[in-house]
Structure 1
Amino acid sequence: MPASNCLSDEIKYMEDLSYILSRVILYINHLYIISSLFMRIHVRFFASHKERIGCSNLLLELNEGSKIINLIDKINQTNPGFSKKPESLVAAVNQEYQDLNFVLRDNDEVAFIPPVSGGMINDQNFKYSCRNHV
């Protein structure tokens, strides 16, 4: 094989390698751009919410600038029984209560707090027994 052909093959190989490398870099940049358009939200469920969803934690991706209400919509897409009345849900973002229009940020933790039951007991016997033991 003549030396000129070997050199030409080597140049061709380097051009191919350069092309492949440029495509890989372009792909990585593309992934970075796409990933910057989305944010990851850590979601926690307790009690009745946990029972409806079937787990206590989810990691979901949302569009940048999404609100809690958008997160609820996304959860309802895969778990239709989660909330038929989103306005009745109580949410805490990073352990602080927020309304449903709160704008989420990447890596926020959203916990859905289940309804708390309780209230006054109108049983006279209970009131009497409490008074006697105070």
Structure 2
Amino acid sequence: MLTAGSTIVGRGAPGIAVAVAVVVAAVAASCSGPAAPQPFAVHAPGPVVADAEISGVLQLTDGCLTVGGYPLSLVESAVWDARGGFLTLEGEDHAVGSEVSWGGAYSDASAVANLPAGCTGEEVATVHAVGP
């Protein structure tokens, strides 16, 4: 008999809560899917050495992000949004097809260890500075 102040303890209630939590976690994990590969090489930030202007239209071709036909090497903090088709670099979003102008340098592509397979060419545009 239940009286005021009685507590109902069910054996199934905690088990059901755990089962529901496990199912929710599994569904959430499966929705995110594997991360898309970045379409650019990555370099560690260093001293700003902007010897050249890297400017032109930001393009994505064969899984390679380019400006002026040059594959890009960007700082580690750069983020590629494959669904939206834009790059976030130093807090600024740059959509594929937009004009960009950054400071950086051009270097030999063979010296870049992590260049994506779709990136071809003899030189890479290494971006060091986004702002003026």
Q: Give TM-score scaled by structure 2 length.
A: 0.37
Structure possessing the higher relative contact order (Cα contacts under 8 Å, 6 or more residues apart): 2
More strand by share: 2
Is the radius of gyration larger for structure 1 or structure 2? 1
Q: Give TM-score scaled by structure 1 length.
A: 0.37
